[in-house]
């Protein structure tokens, strides 16, 4: 189904991209640091789900269609930026909030936040539309099917990396959670990360 000559190159690129600090890693780190490992893992699941949806859209060609509609990308991107800035404001207002990762509601909320963060960044879909086809071979099988397989591999690698990030940051949160000063510091850093990601969507044209 996949071109054996292209798979090693794709794997090398996927691993490099997964290990490169970016919005997904920053969001996972901020969530786990402020709400604990369970919330961090839930945010990771939301991010991966959102990316998988964008991969499906890219394979179907809908991401390219969206890019041709005037102002469509801009509206979606600004909506994502507004959402992240809202998370920053909400976290900043509750710097002394205790860890809530043990509650089912908090875990579900972390998943929704991770999902919405990716779905409201259309550049994610455009990235996969540009990245995945480079490693397909139309002579072997349908390109859309190869893109889905490659997307699945990409997200498996990304999930592993983000899981390590979530567990590491979450454990640090648990160990430092008894300290009010450390709690305020971690929540403050999380608020800064959310706000930075939101501003990045607004100010950087090629944010992905």
Domain that holds residue 175: 7-14+23-203
DSSP characters over 25-77: HHHHHHHHHHH-HHHHHHHHHHHHHHHHHHHHHHHHTHHHHHHHSTTHHHHHH
Chain mean position to CA 194: 12
Q: Which residues of the chain have pLDDT under 70?
A: 20-21, 62-73, 76, 80, 94-105, 123, 173-183, 186-187, 190, 197, 201, 204-208
Q: What is the pLDDT of residue 12?
A: 87
Q: What is the pLDDT of residue 160?
A: 92
Give the integer Cα–Cα distance in Å for 39 and 107: 5
**140-162: per-residue pLDDT in tens?**
888 788 888 998 899 899 899 99
Instruction: Report the domain count for the chain.
Output: 1
In a domain, 72, yes or no: yes
Between CA 161 and CA 167, with CA 164 as vertex, the angle to 5 degrees is 150
Q: What is the pLDDT of residue 101?
A: 40
Give the integer Cα–Cα distance in Å for 82 and 12: 34
In a domain, 1, yes or no: no
Helix, strand, coil % over all residues of the chain, rounded to 5? 80, 0, 20
Q: What is the pLDDT of residue 67?
A: 61
In a domain, 174, yes or no: yes
In a domain, 44, yes or no: yes
Give the integer Cα–Cα distance in Å for 106 and 121: 23
Q: What is the pLDDT of residue 163?
A: 92
In a domain, 142, yes or no: yes
């Amino acid at each position: 189904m996949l071109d054996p000559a292209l798979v090693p190159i794709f794997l090398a690129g996927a691993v490099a991209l997964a290990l490169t600090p970016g919005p997904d890693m920053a969001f996972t780190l901020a969530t786990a640091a402020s709400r604990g490992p369970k919330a961090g893992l839930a945010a990771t699941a939301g991010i991966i789900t959102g990316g998988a949806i964008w991969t499906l859209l890219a394979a179907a060609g809908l991401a390219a269609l969206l890019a041709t509609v005037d102002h469509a990308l801009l509206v979606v991107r600004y909506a994502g930026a507004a959402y992240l800035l809202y998370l920053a404001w909400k976290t900043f207002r509750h710097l002394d909030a205790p860890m809530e990762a043990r509650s089912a509601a908090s875990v579900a909320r972390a998943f929704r936040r991770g999902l919405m963060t990716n779905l409201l960044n259309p550049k994610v879909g455009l990235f996969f539309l540009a990245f995945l086809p480079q490693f397909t071979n139309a002579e072997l099988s349908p390109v859309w099917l190869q893109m889905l397989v490659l997307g699945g591999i990409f997200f498996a690698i990304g999930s592993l990396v983000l899981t390590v990030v979530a567990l590491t940051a979450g454990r640090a949160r648990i160990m430092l959670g008894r300290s009010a000063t450390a709690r305020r510091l971690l929540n403050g850093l999380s608020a800064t990360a959310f706000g930075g990601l939101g501003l990045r969507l607004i100010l950087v044209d090629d944010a992905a």
